[in-house]
Amino acid sequence: MALGLQTESSGGGDITPIVKWDAKAGDLIKVDRENDGSGWVKNETEMTLPISFAMDFDNMQIGWLSFASGAPDFQMVDLGERMPPKPSDDHKQCFRVKIASGDLGLREFSHSAKTVMRSMDKLHDQFVAGQAANAGKTPVVTIGGTETVKIDTPQGELRFKVPEWSINQWVDRPAMFDGGVAPSQPSTQPAPEAGFSAPAGSPPPAQAAANPLF
C-alpha cells in the first residue's frame, strides 16, 4: 500500500459524516445521522453512479480498523509515516481519506477489504503520477461503475465489486477540506453531471463555472 491516515477519537465533538463502499453489491452509500425527535437514527442512501468528488490524497492515512467493540476503532498514521503496530487480532489494515463535493459535502471514506485497498492503491499511483503537472491542485475522482474481482478460496470462488474509478481532472483545493464551506449555488441550477459540463443554454454563475463540482 502507498497510502496513510490519522488516529480517530470516538465519542463527542463534531464527527465527519461518511460514505461507505459495499464490496459485495458494488454500491456507494451515503450515511447520515439525524434526530427524529426520539433520538439519533442512521439513514443510508445509495448513490447513483457515475459520481464525482474531490479526494484529499494530501492528507490520506493508513492504519488499522476494528469493529470488535461495536464502534469503529481507527489506529492511523499520516501518509509517509511508519505503519503503527497492530493493536489486536481483530484489527485489519485500512485506509481513510476525505472526499468532498457540492452534493455530498465533506465526508470520510475508509475501507479494510483487500480488494478495495488494492483498487485504492492503483488510484493513489495515478495521483502521484499527476502531482508534478498539477502542483497545488486537488484531484477529482469519478466512479464510473464497478469492476468484479474473483478470488479463489478453499470454499470456492468469491466475487467482489470494487470501484471503477479514475482521476479525470484537477481543481483548486476545496475550502471544505480546510474547515470552509462550499460556495452556494442557485436552487434553480440543476445538479452538475459527472463530466462537470455546464447545462446547455443556461450558463451557471462565474464562480460555479470555474469549478462546478462545488
| 154 found inside a domain | yes
Domain count, the chain: 1
Task: Kindly state whether residue 205 falls inside one of the protein's structural domains.
Answer: no
Q: Residue 203: which pLDDT band, with cuts at 50, 70 and 90?
A: very low
Cell 492511523 belongs to 76
Distance from C-alpha of 28 to C-alpha of 83, rounded to nearest angstrom = 27
Predicted TM-score of the model (pTM): 0.77
pLDDT tens profile 122-179: 999 999 999 999 999 999 999 999 999 999 988 889 999 999 999 999 999 999 999 8
What share of the chain has pLDDT > 90, as a percent?
64
> Within a domain: residue 197?
no
Name the grid cell of 161: 465489486
Report the Cα–Cα distance between both ends of the chain, in Å, rounded. 30
Tell me, yes or no, whether 30 lies in a domain.
yes
Whether 8 is in a domain gets the answer: no
pLDDT at 35: 81
Q: How far is CA 160 from CA 36, 40, 90, 196, in A?
A: 35, 32, 22, 29
Residue 2 lies in a domain: no
d(CA 136, CA 132): 9
170 located within any domain: yes
How far is residue 104's CA from residue 52's CA, in Å, rounded to a whole number?
10
* Cell numbers at 177, concatenated: 477540506
Show the domain range for 46.
18-179
